[in-house]
Amino acid sequence: MKKGNLHTLHGGDLDEISRIYGIDKKDILNFSGNVNPLGLPLSVKNAIINNPDAAVNYPDVSYVELRRAIGEYTGTDHEHIVVGNGSTELISLFIKITAPKKALIVSPAYSEYLNEVKLSGGSAELFPLRDEEEFRLNEERLITAVTDDTDLLVICNPNNPTGTYIDCAVIKKLLAHCKETGTYVMIDETYVEFSDREKNVSAIPLAKEFKNLFVIRGTSKFFACPGLRLGYGICSDEGLLERINKCKDPWSVNIFAEIAGRTMFADREYAKRTLELTGRERKRIYAALKEFKNIHVYESQSNFFLCRIEKEDITSTQIFEELIKDNILIRDASDFPYLGSRYLRFCILDENSNTLLLNSLKKCIE
Ligand SMILES: Cc1ncc(COP(=O)(O)O)c(C=O)c1O
């Protein structure tokens, strides 16, 4: 791999980083993957350990029990839920099935949306969130940008990499407008459970009313299980769900992910501990960074922060290189559209690790 691509690998590409820098994976403090530092819930570990022989069976091809568990967790009818091999499979399937000729992607955003639109033969326009607006959505501008030609609007909420969010009341206005223009709306809520305003952010309660809405959720980040590959989609257009299910490979969610899913959503204790840790550290890190010279931090409703370096003679790539010497891995965000060589992103880990990062970062920029 060319070194130029190195800093902008997907957050989870620990193996590649480990090979290139010669650091053992387990010695890397990974601030780039956005994964919950509490690790896999104990309830899930036990459920898997106690069922090793489950592997001799195929999973339920319709995943009824798993979808019921998700239904209970999200307050949704299980008939309106589809499960996938990570949220990635569902992003891909939904775009393939709806085959938008023209998509509008609120950006900077997770790169897979654009990749999938291109792969499905469509074209995408990027709708810019602006630095001078702190990367918060300007709803009037977006409504004007969605026209009768827009087949699909893609939103990540809260957004990766900015951490900003859109209130559910604004989403409702957007959905009503998109219904008029005949536009599907795909909302990726991979990070919504980390928000302390989840109820005001999630669009799931709107799915019944708006058949043009497809909400995608993953489990990789909040339940710390990217290796299990479990995601789900919620939509009240049963015809569309049927088309997605027809296109999907059978058993794409493996049986251990199925067992994990039937356990994790009921683990309220784990969710509570996660929110306590994330909420507390989000406040502490934000306050600390506000006091730093030469850096601007954006408010976040997620488990990560985007920052802009304000020192002329240092780039995010140089900071990446400096921090990796201390085995600290952050995301050089310079390759995201509308960002550039001064932006970096890092997630919230445990208190000690976060302090280490803050200290190392301070050394680099002050
Ligand atoms: C916004 C967003 N959506 C989806 C994904 C992919 O997640 P999954 O592991 O559920 O496929 C990521 C991974 O980084 C992400 O940041």
In terms of DSSP bridges, do strands 184-188 and 152-156 run parallel, antiparallel, or are they unpaired?
parallel
Pocket flag, ligand 1, residue 332 (CB < 6 Å) = no
Whether the CB-CB separation of 212 and 183 falls below 8 Å is answered with: yes
Atom of ligand 1 at shortest range from CA of 191: 1
Query: Between helices 42-49 and 255-264, what is the axis angle to 10°?
Result: 140
The angle formed by the CA atoms of residues 78, 79 and 80, to the nearest 5 degrees, is 85
- Measured N-to-C along each axis, helices 238-247 and 86-98 cross at an angle, to the nearest 10 degrees, of 110
Q: What is the residue-level pLDDT of the chain in tens, covering all 366 positions? A: 344 455 556 555 888 888 989 999 999 999 999 999 999 999 999 999 999 999 999 999 999 999 999 999 999 999 999 999 999 999 999 999 999 999 999 999 999 999 999 999 999 999 999 999 999 999 999 999 999 999 999 999 999 999 999 999 999 999 999 999 999 999 999 999 999 999 999 999 999 999 999 999 999 999 999 999 999 999 999 999 999 999 999 999 999 999 999 999 999 999 999 999 999 999 999 999 999 999 999 999 999 999 999 999 999 999 999 999 999 999 999 999 999 999 999 999 999 999 999 999 999 998
Q: Which atom of ligand 1 is nearest to the CA of 87?
A: 10
Helix H segments across 99-184?
112-119, 139-145, 168-181
Q: Mutation test of ligand 1: which of 88, 189, 301 has the most ligand atoms closer than 8 Å to its C-beta?
A: 88
Quick check: CB of 158 below 6 Å from ligand 1? no
Report the separation in Å between the CA atom of 293 and the middle of ligand 1, taken as the mean of its atom positions.
32
Q: Which two tokens stand for residue 71?
A: 């239904």
Quote the tokens at residue 296. Answer: 């601007």
Minimum-distance ligand 1 atom for the alpha carbon of 12 = 14
CA–CA distance, 332 with 309 (Å, rounded to integer): 11
Task: Work out whether the CA dihedral 84, 86, 88, 91 comes out positive or negative.
Answer: positive
Task: Say yes or no: CB of residue 11 within 6 Å of ligand 1.
Answer: yes
Taking the alpha carbons at both ends of the chain, their separation in whole angstroms is: 32
Q: Is the dihedral of CA 187, 145, 103, 248 positive or negative?
A: positive
Domains of the chain, first to last:
3-40+269-365 (3.90.1150.10), 42-267 (3.40.640.10)
Q: How far is the CA of 240 from the centre of ligand 1 (A)?
A: 22
